[in-house]
Structure formats: C-alpha cells, structure tokens
Amino acid sequence: MKVWILAVLTSVSLWSFDFQGHHFIASYYDCDQEALNDREALKQVMIKAAQKAGAEVLDHCSYDFDGDGLTMVILLSESHASIHTYPEHKACFVDLFTCGNSCDNEQFHHVLAKYLKPNHFSGDILERK
C-alpha cells in the first residue's frame, strides 16, 4: 500500500503544471578574511547581489554567531537567497532559488565573488520543474 501511494504521489501526470525554477548553489573557499568578518557589509552585499540578479527583495533576517559566523536568509518574491559563513575556515556557502526565468544567477555570483575574492569556487545550478 505504501509503495502504491508513493508511486501515485510522485507520478509526473499528477504533478504536471507549468513551473520552472533555478537553484544556484555555491561554495566559496579561501575568501578574503576581512570580507567574511565584516558581517554588516556582507549582509548588504547579499541584498545587492539578489537585486543585481533581478530579484525583488521582500525582507531579510540574519543571525550573527560568536566568532564572526553569519547565517542570513533573504525572502524574495521569486523565492529566497541564503548564506552561511565560516570565517575560521575562510569559507561560505550560498544559494539562490528563483522561480521563473527573470533572475540571473551569474549576476548574483559576480557580485558575491567580487566582494569575497575566493581563491576557490564550486557551484551548480539545479533546474526545478
């Protein structure tokens, strides 16, 4: 019974609707230490990156950890963006999930990379349908 329910719930015919989204996920390593430690500037850069990508920023919240770490989530009309920093490792991890085709992941990445100056980067874009 459980297998049949799972098969029905995951059936393409049940979930066929017109939707397209992009989920940019990235890891930035060996970043500029001062850029990671300046949490207020980094928060502003995240907002700027989302806006430069063409997203509409609705709200944001963040939490500053002892030791300079930061977690931030930006609520977008298209979905969300987030960052989690690990200054002690000179690294951070970000994502930008947007619905539709109006946002530019490259612009988001460009603004962040210009500020963070990572020596190593890995990223991917997941197509959500």
Q: List active site positions.
A: 79, 84, 99
Q: Which amino acid is at 24?
A: F
Distance CA 87, CA 80 (A): 23
Length of the chain: 129
Closest to 71 measured CA to CA, from 57, 87, 58, 55? 87
Please list the alpha-helical segments (H only) found in the chain.
2-9, 33-37, 39-52, 105-116
